[in-house]
Amino acid sequence: GAVVSQHPSRVICKSGTSVKIECRSLDFQATTMFWYRQFPKQSLMLMATSNEGSKATYEQGVEKDKFLINHASLTLSTLTVTSAHPEDSSFYICSARAIQPGLASYNEQFFGPGTRLTVL
Amino acid sequence: EDKVVQSPLSLVVHEGDTVTLNCSYEVTNFRSLLWYKQEKKAPTFLFMLTSSGIEKKSGRLSSILDKKELFSILNITATQTGDSAVYLCAVEGTIQGAQKLVFGQGTRLTINP
């Protein structure tokens, strides 16, 4: 149990286009999902916290208008990179926190497999 | 500022050796410390530690937390080439009213046959 999927796993796009990444919790409900970015040989940096039915909370230095987050249901959050540029090329990882007490570790975050974005 | 610092950043050993990876932290309203293994994709969960002095074990891996010294170690005994990966330490805290994970830089472990 506690599987998180991301789609697509890899995307290559031209500069200026927008890219949408989906994060789904497949077998549990998640009121909270997190979006991270990881540059090569660096650690995961939290970009934003996404709560179902409300606006996302962005970390300092992350542009809200550039990285649009929508958390429309308890199993789906999307990250849209608008007008992508080469410097946005990175590995984007989502995680979901389970809400059911008793599901393994109640507060544990379950990570998706990541999406590698390359902007040419 | 909330931070997690891992050491060493890189480690190369021979198969069969024992390694110790370190993690120190300063995170607001500590909730738990987690260790992950990351190969080419997203991190996979190893351990979650919440109490001081209680060792958690899983096969050749073990970990312990010292909440007084704000420190944790991850031990891997009888290392195998399949242990080669980046090991991430993350601390969950309640920061500005929200529960967040703060990650360390990771330790890149290479096991040579």
The pLDDT tens digits of the residues spanning A36-68 come to: 999 888 889 999 999 888 889 999 999 999 999
In one-letter notation, the amino acid at residue A18 is: S
- Smallest CA–CA separation between A114 and chain B, in Å? 6
Rounded Cα–Cα distance for residues A80 and B50 (Å): 35
> Which residues of chain B are within 8 Å of residue A110 when distances are taken between CB atoms?
45
The pLDDT tens digits of the residues spanning B45-93 come to: 899 999 999 999 999 999 999 999 999 999 999 999 999 999 999 999 9
**Contact assignment for B101 to A107 by CB distance below 8 Å:** no
Rounded Cα–Cα distance for residues A105 and A16 (Å): 41
